[in-house]
């Protein structure tokens, strides 16, 4: 009997153990299934920051120290480590061709101005830089810019960098409203009125100093350009125009351009502009407005506030107004269409060796257009560059913001319009007016039909021929040559290759259309 009872007990224990095992397995399986739907515990392992080296042009006065709070904020948000070389724009433009030829390039490098320059075109055609157009669909922020902006920077229908967005024209003219008031004058609206005001600012003591220490305006000879160029405003083409029969006409060949040139000569003869037109000290001439020497000065819209701030530091009673354009002889306001970008950000293949690396870099710029970064670039750091007033941001010190954020990061790196996404804030009356004029400018622009035409003849001959014409412009304005001398210069331009460039543009335009 006892033996049988022991067997029954053993069997009972065995069945109990099997049941417990099955329940335990089922429980573990359920637990495992549930845990797969939960966040895994933090293992402490994070993705390594992406190292990015850049060379950028810089328009500020002092490069911020490495490791500054703004750059750290960018690095933390984008999970990057940035090694940025800022170079003053003039030096950057001079060194860029040498840098590209050397092949010793960073991950990202800015172009100096438009990419349709001969040395950049050659580099792009030789495969120095990545063509990025095929990847843009993966980046909604980068691809959100106006198609015109992308079209303006393409080379042979290829996109070799991200455009750094700008309005299609940023030209703003500042003037001394207090000087107008002192002389009982109105703001000029056309070129005849403008000339009369310039004469008054030069001769009638607008600052009430009792001395002849003022002048109407200053002209600065930009590299490769002519400082007193009113051609488009007077009805001339922007660089070239296409006649109804498909013939290309250069701006300086038109009677409208010559009328504009005669107007500039009258300004020079009246003494309302500086006499050192050909090779002025650009730094000193740009300071003429803020030092109270001149009453009118034209600048890019993003620099207006800084100019006015520096002027008021020198003369707290100064009052400034701004406008974008004067009505020309055509009865219209006309401005040259710009690229819609301040050059492009390019990715050298020698450094960015793989498609994966390229996509990582594009993703960095994509993140710069996300809300947190947009507000950082637009307003800076709260408590340092902006404060919250009545629930909206307001710059504490605009110049401090520009020095720490605007010049070193916002303008060199922004690749899509901030204004469309930035948190609305409190702007000064001047800032609001600048934004209004930028918008208005887009309706006044005159396009250059050659902006997308890559002419090998132009690349070979264009720089020397433009210099020939620019020299003739200065000579005519300063009285060194007369009207016959001007027309002789145009004929020389034609004979030395101007007509060849024309023929090449006509061929390219016909093929494109």
DSSP for 107-176?
A: SEEE-SS-S-SHHHHHHHHTT-B---GGGGGG-TTGGGS-HHHHHHH-BTTB--SEEEE--S--EEEEEE
According to the per-residue pLDDT averaged within each range, which of 153-157, 448-452, 504-508 is highest?
Answer: 504-508
Sign of the alpha-carbon torsion through 273, 407, 239, 144:
negative
For residue 54, the enclosing domain spans 50-168+341-423
Q: What is the pLDDT of residue 155?
A: 87
- Assess if residue 432 is contained within a domain: no
The tens digit of pLDDT for each residue in 358-389 reads 999 999 999 999 999 999 999 999 999 999 99
The band of 114, judged by pLDDT with boundaries at 50, 70 and 90, is confident
Question: Which of these, 459, 451, 376, lies nearest to 410 by C-alpha position?
Answer: 376
Are residues 64 and 151 located together in one domain of the fold? yes
Are residues 488 and 499 located together in one domain of the fold? yes
**Structure tokens, 89:** 């724009």
- Decide: residue 196, CB within 10 A, 0-12 exposed, 13-18 middle, 19+ buried: middle
Are residues 162 and 179 located together in one domain of the fold? no
Are residues 90 and 163 located together in one domain of the fold? yes
- Could you tell me the CATH number of the domain that includes residue 246? 3.40.190.10
Q: Within a 10 A sphere around the Cβ of 250, how many other Cβ atoms?
A: 23
The band of 167, judged by pLDDT with boundaries at 50, 70 and 90, is confident
Are residues 155 and 291 located together in one domain of the fold? no
How many domains does the structure of the chain reveal? 2
**Structure tokens, 431:** 């800032």
The tens digit of pLDDT for each residue in 24-43 reads 444 443 443 343 333 434 43
Are residues 324 and 236 located together in one domain of the fold? yes
CA neighbours within 13 Å on the CB side: how many for 76? 9
- Assess if residue 20 is contained within a domain: no
pLDDT at 231 over 80: yes
- Assess if residue 81 is contained within a domain: yes
Rounded to the nearest integer, the mean pLDDT of the chain is 88
Are residues 186 and 74 located together in one domain of the fold? no
The band of 495, judged by pLDDT with boundaries at 50, 70 and 90, is very high
Are residues 195 and 284 located together in one domain of the fold? yes
pTM for this predicted structure: 0.78
Are residues 200 and 305 located together in one domain of the fold? yes
Are residues 253 and 176 located together in one domain of the fold? yes
- Assess if residue 35 is contained within a domain: no
pLDDT at 442 over 60: yes
**Structure tokens, 273:** 């502009």
Are residues 157 and 193 located together in one domain of the fold? no
Comparing 466 with 32, which gets the higher pLDDT? 466
Are residues 385 and 330 located together in one domain of the fold? no
């Amino acid at each position: 009997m006892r033996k049988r009872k022991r067997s029954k007990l053993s069997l009972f224990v065995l069945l109990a153990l099997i049941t417990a095992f099955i329940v335990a397995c089922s429980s573990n399986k359920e637990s495992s299934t549930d845990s797969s739907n939960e966040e895994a515990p933090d293992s402490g392992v994070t993705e390594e920051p992406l190292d990015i080296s850049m060379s950028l042009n810089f328009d500020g006065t002092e490069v911020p120290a490495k490791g500054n709070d703004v750059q750290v904020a960018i690095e933390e948000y984008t999970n990057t480590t940035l090694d940025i070389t800022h170079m003053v724009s003039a030096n950057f433009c001079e060194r860029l061709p040498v840098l590209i030829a050397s092949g010793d390039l960073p991950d990202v490098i800015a172009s100096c101005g438009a990419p349709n320059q001969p040395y950049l075109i050659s580099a792009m055609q030789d495969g120095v830089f990545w063509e990025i157009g095929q990847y843009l669909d993966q980046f909604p922020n980068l691809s959100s810019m106006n198609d015109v902006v992308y079209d303006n920077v393409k080379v042979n229908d290829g996109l070799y960098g991200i455009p750094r967005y700008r309005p299609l024209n940023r030209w703003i003219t500042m003037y001394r409203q207090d000087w107008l008031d002192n002389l009982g004058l109105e703001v000029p609206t056309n070129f005849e009125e403008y000339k009369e005001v310039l004469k008054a600012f030069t001769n009638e003591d607008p600052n009430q100093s009792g001395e002849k220490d003022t002048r109407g305006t200053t002209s600065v000879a930009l590299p490769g350009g002519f400082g007193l160029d009113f051609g488009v405003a007077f009805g001339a083409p922007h660089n070239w125009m296409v006649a109804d029969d498909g013939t290309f006409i250069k701006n300086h060949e038109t009677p409208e351009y010559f009328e504009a040139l005669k107007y500039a000569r009258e300004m020079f003869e009246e003494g309302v502009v500086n006499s050192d037109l050909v090779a002025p000290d650009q730094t000193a001439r740009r300071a003429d407005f803020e030092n109270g020497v001149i009453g009118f000065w034209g600048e890019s819209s993003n620099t207006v506030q800084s100019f006015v701030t520096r002027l008021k530091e020198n003369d707290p009673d100064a009052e400034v107004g701004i406008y974008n354009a004067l009505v020309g002889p055509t009865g219209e306001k006309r401005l040259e269409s710009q690229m819609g970008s301040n050059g492009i950000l390019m990715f050298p293949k020698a450094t960015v060796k793989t498609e994966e690396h390229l996509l990582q870099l594009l993703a960095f710029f994509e993140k710069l257009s996300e809300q947190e970064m947009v507000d950082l670039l637009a307003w800076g750091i709260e408590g340092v560059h902006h404060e919250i007033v009545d629930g909206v941001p307001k710059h504490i010190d605009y110049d401090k913001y520009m020095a720490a954020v605007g010049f070193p990061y916002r303008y060199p790196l922004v690749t899509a319009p901030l204004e469309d996404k930035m948190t609305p804030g409190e702007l000064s009356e001047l800032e609001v007016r600048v934004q209004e004029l930028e918008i208005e400018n887009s309706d006044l622009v005159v396009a250059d039909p050659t902006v997308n035409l890559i002419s090998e003849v132009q690349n070979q001959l264009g720089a020397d021929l433009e210099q020939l014409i620019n020299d003739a412009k200065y000579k005519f304005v300063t009285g060194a040559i007369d009207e016959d001398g001007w027309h002789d210069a145009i004929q020389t331009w034609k004979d030395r290759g101007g007509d060849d460039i024309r023929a090449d543009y006509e061929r390219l335009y016909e093929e494109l259309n």
